[in-house]
Amino acid sequence: MNPSSFIVYITSLLWLNLTDAKIGYFWHITDLHYDPFHNSQEFHRGCRHNRANNEHSHRNGRHRDHTCDSSWSLIQSAAAFMQERHPDTLEFVLWTGDILSSSMEHMSEDFKLEAVRNVTDILSRTFSSQFVFPALGHNDPPPSKRLVDMWMQWLPTEALQTFKTGGYYTIEQSHSKLRIVVLNSVLWAGGAARTDGPHLGQAQWGWLEEVLAKARSKNEMVYLVAHAGPGMEERHNAGSSSAAGGGELTPSANGRLLQTIRQFSDVIAGQFYGHRHTDTFRIIYSGGRPVSWALLAPSVTPRGAGSMSNPGLRLYKFDSNTGKVLDYTQYYLDITNTRGEVHWAVEYNLTQYYGLREVSAMSLDALAERIRNYNDRGVFIKYMTALRVRHNIDTADCDSACVHVHYCAITRADYQQFRSCVRNPASALASQAAHNTTAILLYAILILISS
């Protein structure tokens, strides 16, 4: 295709997108970590500090404590805000796991399932006219008939069949060409407790590849949804050889997922994960080109493993015909508010905040380059502010090496490539140089013809 034909082709695609787009919205909520012990004599279980501090926190409103998981009042406030704020064109809700606090780890299955039912009930009332699509996290009960009965209000029969056996399923949108594929990342995690985890994990691979191939044959676009996705954490020491990954998935599962994403990048319209308790993103490359992206939403719980943050909720805007993500609005609750007020507010809007023309692998790749530009700290400070949802923001201690670790986490989802990137910044620069010229040229053309 010659350059003039290419421009005509791109222009026609943009025109079709602009004229035929049907705007819809969906919420993404993740990592509630509900702790029922907040209102009992044992409420210190879900917190990290001593009893004296817990009692002080209890008197002043438990939802305002960064050392504790979510109280029932925090979950209620999040639900009330979403019910009040969501637009008439809300299509569905993605709920990506870790429903329960780790403080419930040794409780009975009956107790855990009752807690899940409480959260399910409040979401059912909040989204009485929408479907909620849940994904299992590593703190959640495994698939069971009781869980199926609880969620059958949202999932069709075909989805319930695979969910009951493996915790994964797919949803075909009858009114559009968008398919939602919900994975059970617990089956691919090194700490999977189920004895049949390896068998079910293999079954999920075959099922996923079959679903993606069928989507391609039917000209559908796909959202990949799971509790945990590919890639490493942003920790400064995550590149050490001792890190089993710094990632939730096993190295082999992580590698295979990346391979599958590359193979089907033409039908994957977006990836949506939680687990990290941070607001960040990942880019997947093929042949040096950015071909897919993953957006990681921050948690509702303010507590994390070295990554405390304010509670967050995310509302996506998308073309409901094609699944193309157009934007999102990130909301947050400042729990350091000393007046005791519960006031959810807009934290930022993605495209405005970072100055993006579109949400794509190419535009996010360009954003990653801006984030790591140590001579211009403006974009990096914005990224770090969003990362912890405006909690305890201090970028002064993050030197050029620290910035580079964040860049490696965003752009190197493969574990070994991440470690190599962290150890050798020069090689990271060289590996990116091969695709930068072409990527920048194509991105410039898109910007010019969409202006």
* Structure confidence at residue 346 (pLDDT): 96
* Structure confidence at residue 441 (pLDDT): 46
* Structure confidence at residue 445 (pLDDT): 47
The mean pLDDT of the chain is 83
Inter-residue contact 217 to 211 (CB < 8 Å): no
Q: For residue 125, how many other CB atoms are within 10 A of its CB? A: 10
Quote the tokens at residue 448. Answer: 């010019």
The CA R_g of the chain, rounded to the nearest whole Å, is: 21
In a 3-state reduction of DSSP, which class is residue 325? strand
DSSP of 424-448: -HHHHHHHHHHHHHHHHHHHHHHHH
62-71, 148-157, 370-379: range with highest mean pLDDT: 148-157
Answer yes or no: is pLDDT of 376 > 90: no
Could you list the beta-strand ranges (E) of 267-368.
268-273, 280-286, 289-296, 312-319, 325-333, 344-349
Q: How far apart are CA 208 and CA 259, in angstroms?
A: 12
380 or 18: which carries more pLDDT confidence? Answer: 380
Answer yes or no: is pLDDT of 123 > 80: yes
> 338 pLDDT band (50/70/90 cuts)?
low
Pick from 58-67, 217-226, 393-402: least confident? 58-67
> 104 pLDDT band (50/70/90 cuts)?
confident
Answer yes or no: is pLDDT of 42 > 90: no
Answer yes or no: is pLDDT of 450 > 60: no
Pick from 7-21, 94-108, 141-155, 246-260: least confident? 7-21
Could you read off the pLDDT of 235-276 as tens digits, one per residue?
A: 645 444 433 347 889 999 999 999 999 999 999 999 999 998
Could you read off the pLDDT of 154-208 as tens digits, one per residue?
A: 999 999 999 999 999 999 987 889 999 999 999 999 755 454 556 788 999 999 9
Q: What's the mean pLDDT in 281-300?
A: 97
> 34 pLDDT band (50/70/90 cuts)?
very high
Query: Which residue's entry shows tokens 């303010």?
Result: 302
* Structure confidence at residue 176 (pLDDT): 85
> 371 pLDDT band (50/70/90 cuts)?
very high
Q: Rounded to a whole number, what is the distance in angstroms from the first to the last CA of the chain?
A: 23
Q: pTM of the entire structure?
A: 0.86
* Structure confidence at residue 136 (pLDDT): 97
Q: Residue 334: is it exposed, middle or buried by C-beta count within 10 angstroms (0-12/13-18/19+)?
A: middle
234 or 278: which carries more pLDDT confidence? Answer: 278
Domains parsed from the chain with CATH numbers: 10-450 (3.60.21.10)
* Structure confidence at residue 314 (pLDDT): 98
Q: What is the DSSP letter of 297?
A: P
